[in-house]
Structure 1
Amino acid sequence: MKETKDEVIGILMKKMDPRRDEIFADIGCYTGKVSIEASKYFKKVYSVDIDKEAVKNVEKIKSENMEVFYMRGEDFLRKYNYDKVFIGGTKNYDQMLNVASKKAKKIIANVARLETASNIVKKMREVGIFEEMLLINISKSYELAGEIAFRTLNPIFMVIGSKRC
């Protein structure tokens, strides 16, 4: 697993359109980077992962308005209330979207594989929430023979769904 890049988190937060009175769920929180950034904008942040090490590490760095859960994403989504959801892990996204689409105002999933992104779009359409998909390509500079060159990072598909108000 790889962590969400800072630049992608910036785009994610803009697209998430956070409100100070809302609750954010970070499903598949891994390093906690998304949760930490979200905690600056949301009233409450839930960080959820099935990896014990990830949960232990996020517990150490969490901010005051964060709660960390060691449980499956779909179980968390059934049990708790939230306004906006970020899905960073792709296991069981079908079940997670079924549940979250009934409760969340906005759901964003980041994935690295085209087929997975396509399946998430299909599922979001099925539950009536698909809004758009972004393909995010980021290149970072490095020095090469005294000049600047760019190294491309893996592209990310950001699939966005929201309830039509």
Structure 2
Amino acid sequence: MIYPTGTPTQPEVIAVALSKLNIKPADVFVDIGCGSGSVSISAARLAKRVYAIDSRDEAVRAATENIKECGLTNVQVLKGEATQLLPDLEVDCAFVGGSKNLEQVLEILAEKVPRFVVSAVRMETVFSALEIMKKNNVFKELLQIQLSRGNELAGGTMLKPENPVFLLVGGGSC
């Protein structure tokens, strides 16, 4: 896997996020701030169609290469700002992995996407997303995920914690 600048979403976090979205085989999914494409790749195994959006050249290149390497044909990588691309896409569920233009992105999602999850590692992003989602009456749930991984230490195993990740689940009543 090729990784652009930034921290890739951990597989365990992806699993929880996608489970909260309850992706169905006929769904169209969008990954906003797709980075390496790891969320898009996981979602592509569940959804009919996936749009992977990122505004950074390095992320678009990495996601395109990683998706190609996995042999997936139902993922389309789009370069650009989500605020400009989302209005023209018909999607059933979304994952927000980047916080650029977060307020505008969440306003669009609140209006047109039934189910979405925002992933955040910065407290400012959590507070901002929570406020916007509550204002738009689409806030459902806030989760904090803390992973630890086993590492060798003096002939034994110790747990080394990863940075916590917050998932904000949103959407309408469906």
Alignment length (residue pairs): 165
Please give the residue correspondences for 1:9-158 in structure 2 after superposition, counting only pairs within 5 Å.
9-62=14-67, 63-158=72-167
- 1:50-101, Cα deviation, whole Å (9 max, x unpaired): 0111111222232110000001011111121111011000011100011111
What's the RMSD between the two structures over aligned residues? 0.9
Q: Deviations over 1:112-132 (max 9, x none)?
A: 012210110110011110001
| Runs of 5+ unmatched residues, structure 1 | none
**3-state DSSP class of the match of 1:35?**
helix
Alpha-carbon contact 2:36-2:66 (below 8 Å) kept: no
Matched letter for residue 119 of structure 1: S
2:107 is paired with a residue whose SS is helix
Q: What TM-score, normalized by structure 1, do the two folds share?
A: 0.97
d(CA) in 2 for partners of 1:101 and 1:118?
17
% identical equivalent positions = 32
Which secondary structure does the structure 1 equivalent of 2:95 belong to? strand
Q: What TM-score, normalized by structure 2, do the two folds share?
A: 0.92
Q: Which whole-Å CA distance do the structure 1 matches of 2:10 and 2:66 have between them?
A: 18
Structure 2 residues without counterparts, runs of 5 or longer: 1-5
2:24 and 2:141 map into 1 onto residues whose CA distance is 21
CA distance in 2, matches of 1:164, 1:125: 14
Q: Does 1:6 align with 2:19?
A: no
Q: CA deviation at 1:108?
A: 0.6
**Range that drifts further, 97-106 or 130-139:** 97-106
Question: Within 2, Cα distance between the matches of 1:86 and 1:116?
Answer: 14
Structure 1 residue runs of 4 or more that deviate by more than 6 Å after TM superposition? none
